Structure 1
């Protein structure tokens, strides 16, 4: 005769934890895939050497701004993300969960670049300050600002700056 005895829960806590972790990773992956498929908008930057055209995703919501380029493993040289804060204010960024170095362009309400933080350190939780009130931050691949001739004082051309 076969006798069954109950030896505790059917799924130990470790198995449940592992399943929850896998589910979380899948959900994060789906969210990132959607972000990677976000429509790109043209962004022109008038530099001393001419006009540079970038393609950027625009982060308008709080959730989009919080996630930014986190978890991305690559970023083409002429692509990036534009963070629209809606009004001029001091801005603080960090590189937590960001796998690639970035250049951060801090942009005033009139569209001029106030400063550039070049080659930020991946995964760093160091606070990166705008240094003054800005309306927009543009993140591009690390080193791209220098290679493309983008510098403080250059001007972005987009509808975001028409109302100042």
Structure 2
């Protein structure tokens, strides 16, 4: 029995791998892992030591709400784009690794896209920019 508990604990300390969807930000393609269950969203990008520049994670929620994120057990500096149903970026927040500061959407949203910190800024993307892909209705 103790072995089973150890394996579960070990699995929780490893990055999760989720289905990937392709999103676009203008001419830039994003390979985004899709976190859509409460468990997947809670783990997010925790324990990941590296992430390619075109990779990220899209958090999809059931209904629009003020979404707040923190960086507990997250090793990489990230930028989070809070995204409306039509793919419009509401706001972007830079988040420091392994902190518990709360970073929230400025209005209710159903989507949050986490990328390596600075990814959006380097591509000139900001509030009002639009993402496209199968997740968005616009």
Gaps of 5+ in 1: 1-15
Higher helix residue share: 1
Gaps of 5+ in 2: none
| Counterpart position of 1:40 | 20
Question: How many angstroms does 1:75 deviate by?
Answer: 1.0
Q: Structure 2: how far apart are the matches of 1:87 and 1:143?
A: 28
Q: Structure 2: how far apart are the matches of 1:144 and 1:132?
A: 22
Question: Which 4+ runs in 1 deviate beyond 6 A?
Answer: none
Which of 14, 21, 27 is residue 11 of structure 2 equivalent to?
A: 27
Q: Structure 2: how far apart are the matches of 1:43 and 1:112?
A: 13
Which of 114, 119, 124 is residue 139 of structure 1 equivalent to?
A: 114
The number of residues matched between the two structures is 137
Contact between 1:94 and 1:125, CA under 8 Å: does it hold in 2?
A: yes
From the CA coordinates, give the structure whose radius of gyration is larger: 1
CA RMSD after TM alignment = 2.1
User: What does residue range 1-164 of structure 1 map to in structure 2 within 5 Å?
Assistant: 23-29=7-13, 32=14, 35-36=16-17, 38-46=18-26, 51-118=27-94, 120-162=95-137
Taking structure 1 as reference, are residues 95 and 152 closer, same or farther at Cα in structure 2, changes over 3 Å only? Answer: same
TM-score, length of structure 1 as denominator length: 0.75
TM-score, length of structure 2 as denominator length: 0.88
